[in-house]
Amino acid sequence: MSETILSTEGLSKRFGSRWAVKDLNLDVRAGEIFGFLGPNGAGKSTTIRMILTLLLPTSGSVRVFGKEIRRHRAEILSRVCGIVEKPDFYLFLSAYKNLELLGSLSRKVTADEIFEALEIVGLRARAGDKVKTFSHGMKQRLGIAQAILTRPDLVILDEPTSGLDPQGMKEVRELVLKLSREHGTTIFLSSHLLTEVEAVAQRMAVLNHGELVAQGPVSELMNDGSSYFTITASPMEKALELLRRVSWVEVVAEGNGIDVRIDSLRAAELNRLLVTSGIDVSSFAAKRTLEDYFLKITEGASEV
């Protein structure tokens, strides 16, 4: 198991009487892309602000590179590139000038390096243009150019694809993967979209109402429902009757399809049993419980 790069312990933040983040224990490891998933208002930005010391926790602590962030703030933050919600740039300066200023905060950057970073994110031709003329997507990409340029050990991106069109989302996703592959940078990235996290992250944490719901490898979390299946068959009544009779099948729900829980190794056997009993099976699909769960909490999350 690789070394822990970022961890939080009992991290909590209360605004008035409401807990925005409650008792959060995160564990982000070296070289991985870590997805921080949660619906709107879950507490993602609040957590990121506390990690970047922009906000004081009500309780709990943050460790980065093995050290407590408040005690080693300057040392740690010089190795971190954090972009919260939307990248902040000097709007009346050019993309080049912005990168020159931001890049020089951490080290001496050369013109070649700045142009190279702009080239990677597809903004080379706009180097001399004022950032105020940039679209939202271009600003996101400039944020990533900043991350490439400053060569941090840890990049923290808060919803880097939010507000982008599908093409823009894809470009940012590819840049994140590139940053990870080519520089081995550890990337912590928040999103309210499961598909986004699934596309890039190796491990993830799911947050809802400020509390941790799940944390672990994306593949494991996504497959934790492999023993749940949804069956669509006709005639439906006959299928249901048969499924209820089989001792090793538990019928969980019925609606458009029939949801069952079985030992996933017996899926093919069950499919065969239905077919040989004269039932037409039009679909037999593994259900992804985390996905269902996440969709459910996302639907109910907006006006909390």
Binding site for ligand ATP (CB under 6 A): 15, 20, 38, 40-46, 192
User: Please, which residue, 15 or 90, has the CB nearer to ligand ATP?
Assistant: 15
Least separation in angstroms between CB 304 and ligand ATP: 6
User: Please, which residue, 44 or 141, has the CB nearer to Mg ion?
Assistant: 44
User: Could you tell me which stretch among 42-50, 149-157, 164-172, 199-207 binds Mg ion (CB under 5 A)?
Assistant: 42-50
Least separation in angstroms between CB 172 and ligand ATP: 16
Q: What is the DSSP letter of 256?
A: S
H or E segment and range at residue 205: strand 203-208
User: Please, which residue, 44 or 203, has the CB nearer to Mg ion?
Assistant: 44
How many CB atoms sit inside 10 A of residue 114's CB?
A: 22
Q: Are 87 and 138 in contact (CB under 8 A)?
A: no
Q: Which has the closest alpha carbon to 151: 124, 113, 177?
A: 113
What is the residue-wise DSSP string for 245-276?
H-TT-EEEEESSSEEEE--GGGHHHHHHHHHH
Asked if 208 touches Mg ion (CB under 5 A), the answer is no
Asked if 298 touches Mg ion (CB under 5 A), the answer is no
Residue number with the smallest Cβ distance to Mg ion: 45
Q: Which does 15 bind (CB under 5 to 8 A by kind): Mg ion, ligand ATP, none?
A: ligand ATP
Burial class (CB in 10 A: 0-12, 13-18, 19+), 235: exposed
Binding site for Mg ion (CB under 5 A): 44-45
